[in-house]
Amino acid sequence: MCYLSLAILCLLLSGCMLMSGEATTVDMQEGSGNLLTTFVGAEGSSQRELDIGAPGATVQVIAIIGVESGDLELSLLGPDGAAAFTVAARPDAQVTRSGSVRADDAGKLRYSVSARGARNGTYQLFVQP
């Protein structure tokens, strides 16, 4: 019975992110701004949204990520869920990538974050028209 409960718990937790010490600041104006997230530890994956206030707009996004140890990956997603671009962190180094991404009809920019044993990490998104 205990093994069955553990298996069900593992299934429920797959596809979710556990992030400790998370702090996020967002400074957005219509179609531009930035988001900064820092954390102490992270494991798992999740999809998140950033309201840019510009429905259907194509914007230029600069993503900067870094992690002290472990793996961290960030993907910017188009309205159809396909990755517009992906950036992966290397321990003790910041990695930057940019590209064009289209917001959905509600003005939301979607992105996914994946972490495996990530410690002392950060990711930042700069959005420009």
The CATH number of whichever domain residue 81 belongs to comes to 2.60.120
- The residue whose two tokens read 């702090």 is 23
Let me know if residue 3 belongs to a domain. Answer: no
- Please, which residues bridge with residue 96 across strands? 64
Domain span including residue 65 = 16-128
Give pLDDT, residue 17.
86
Let me know if residue 34 belongs to a domain. Answer: yes
Instruction: Tell me the per-residue pLDDT of 87-127, one tens digit each, with 9 for 90 and over.
Output: 999 898 899 999 999 999 999 999 999 999 999 999 999 99
Let me know if residue 79 belongs to a domain. Answer: yes
Is the predicted pLDDT of residue 26 greater than 50, yes or no?
Answer: yes
Let me know if residue 8 belongs to a domain. Answer: no
Based on the structure, what is the number of domains in the chain? 1
Let me know if residue 7 belongs to a domain. Answer: no
The mean pLDDT of 10-20, rounded to a whole number, is 65
Let me know if residue 40 belongs to a domain. Answer: yes
The Cα 46–Cα 22 span in angstroms is 14
Q: Report CA torsion sign: 87, 90, 63, 42.
A: positive
Tokens of 108: 């939301």
Note the pTM of the prediction, 2 decimals: 0.85
Let me know if residue 83 belongs to a domain. Answer: yes
- The residue whose two tokens read 């954390």 is 39
